[in-house]
């Protein structure tokens, strides 16, 4: 991989721009409230970034990134996805990850770390799954298809 998952989300990701984003967002703010609203999402992303940096699978991708910017974008993405009042203004997932050669294993490691952070913050399992279901479709735009990945 060349650079960190700069604007992921999942998040992460993190999780999604334009009409595709509008189609997946909840119709109410119950998920947003279950995550502790904006303050809860900020605390979650603070924990998430610490874990991403500490994990040997994800740390090398995030250490060179502007970590504060990544956290802010992830908060906005998760806030918006969960029905909160935030607006994600970052680049779309496909263009922002196009040259990063992200593998499925990279994406799965990030999701695992996100789950650890959600557990640590006491987010109920059902609510975690709701958020992950909103984030999962992003894998199509984040993971580099094997046929386009650089050859060793």
pLDDT score of 42 more than 70: yes
Of how many residues is the chain composed?
A: 152
Query: Residue 151: which pLDDT band, with cuts at 50, 70 and 90?
Result: low
By the 10 Å C-beta count (0-12 exposed, 13-18 middle, 19+ buried), 42 is classed as middle
* CB neighbour list of residue 21: distance below 8 Å, 6 or more residues apart: 80, 81, 88
Domains in the chain, CATH or no CATH each: 9-142 (1.10.490.10)
Kindly report, residue by residue over 80-133, the tens digit of the pLDDT: 999 999 998 877 777 777 676 778 888 899 999 999 999 999 999 999 999 999
């Amino acid at each position: 991989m060349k650079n960190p998952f700069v604007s992921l989300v999942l998040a992460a990701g993190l999780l999604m721009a334009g009409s595709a984003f509008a189609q997946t967002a909840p119709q109410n703010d119950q998920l947003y409230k279950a995550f502790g609203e904006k303050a809860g999402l900020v605390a979650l992303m603070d924990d998430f970034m610490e874990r991403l940096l500490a994990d040997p699978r994800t740390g090398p991708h995030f250490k060179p990134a502007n970590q504060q910017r990544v956290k802010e974008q992830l908060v906005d993405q998760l806030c918006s996805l969960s029905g909160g009042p935030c607006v994600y203004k970052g680049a779309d997932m496909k263009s922002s990850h196009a040259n990063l050669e992200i593998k499925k294993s990279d994406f799965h490691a990030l999701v695992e770390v996100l789950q650890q952070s959600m557990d640590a913050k006491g987010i109920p399992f059902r609510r975690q799954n709701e958020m992950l279901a909103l984030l999962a479709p992003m894998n199509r735009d984040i993971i580099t298809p094997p046929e386009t990945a650089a050859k060793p």
